[in-house]
Amino acid sequence: MHSEHCVSSHLRLNIEEYDRIIRTYIPRYEESRGVQLELLAAANIPARARIVDLGGGTGSLAEAILERFPSSSVLVRDIDPEILALARTRLARFAHRVELSHGSFMDPLPAADAVLCAFALHHIPALERKAEAYQRIRNALRPGGVFLNTDAVSGPFWPSLREEWAVFMAGQGFTLEQAYGNLDSWAAEDTYFSVHQELTAMTQGGFESPECFWRHGPIAILGARV
């Protein structure tokens, strides 16, 4: 009992640390979360909606959804079992309204009224693969459903967007050199496409009218109603 309690408080510390750090890395993290939830509310999905948080990590987006939409249920899918353990701890208070699912962006999804992603799909390195992931999402959505993806985007002005991003991090306690170092090291795993490329991949994935709903510099919310 005692050791379980220790593990749980340790996990909680990790969650708090993750929540703090991601806000120093990502410009407008909090603001984009608020806009994503407003868009979900505007979509008018059923009160007892089934929502997927894809690449849900520690479950921070899922937590915000479960709080804001108290009759909804959320499936959190992520490829990393350790991070899912953090999500389990964070979301324990929502009990039966949460399902944790170990799997990939490429795996089929259960039927859903909404699929939301935050800062996750940039782990897909090629547009053809991204179109396949979008197809999985499109196939899961019920009529009237919505897809809302918050993520970094590039485009023809990437050098100035990259600079804007580095300057943001420099305002969060990093030196400018460290900030550029962060972006360089993430580039090994993360791929940012232009909004145009993303919308094209969504169309290839079967979305008829994909949109850019919101954008500030390198951060955007893209998606579609079906």
Ligand X SMILES: C[S@@+](CC[C@H](N)C(=O)[O-])C[C@H]1O[C@@H](n2cnc3c(N)ncnc32)[C@H](O)[C@@H]1O
Instruction: Name the site residues for ligand X (rule: CB under 6 A).
Output: 22, 55-57, 60-61, 78-80, 83, 104-105, 118-120, 123
Give CA torsion, residues 29, 91, 59, 79, to 10 deg. Answer: 170
Query: Rounded to whole angstroms, how far apart are CA atoms 218 and 152?
Result: 5
Q: Provide, rounded to whole angstroms, the least separation between the CB of residue 171 and ligand X.
A: 20
- Is residue 219 within 8 A of residue 27, CB to CB? The reply is yes
Within the chain, strands assigned E span: 50-54, 73-78, 98-102, 112-118, 141-152, 211-216, 219-225
The least CB distance from residue 143 to ligand X, in Å, is: 26
Which structure tokens are listed for 207? 């979305």
Nearer to ligand X, 45 or 120 (CB): 120
Residue 22 or 183: which CB sits closer to ligand X?
22
Nearer to ligand X, 46 or 129 (CB): 129
CB of 24 to ligand X, least distance (A): 13
* Exposed/middle/buried for residue 70 (C-beta within 10 Å: 0-12, 13-18, 19+): exposed
**How near is the Cβ of 135 to ligand X at its closest, in Å?**
15
Instruction: Specify the residue, 103 or 144, whose C-beta has the smaller distance to ligand X.
Output: 103
- The residue of the chain with the least Cβ separation from ligand X equals 57
How far apart are CB 95 and ligand X at their closest, in Å? Answer: 21
Question: Measured from the CB atom, is 61 or 179 closer to ligand X?
Answer: 61
The identity of residue 100, as a single letter, is L
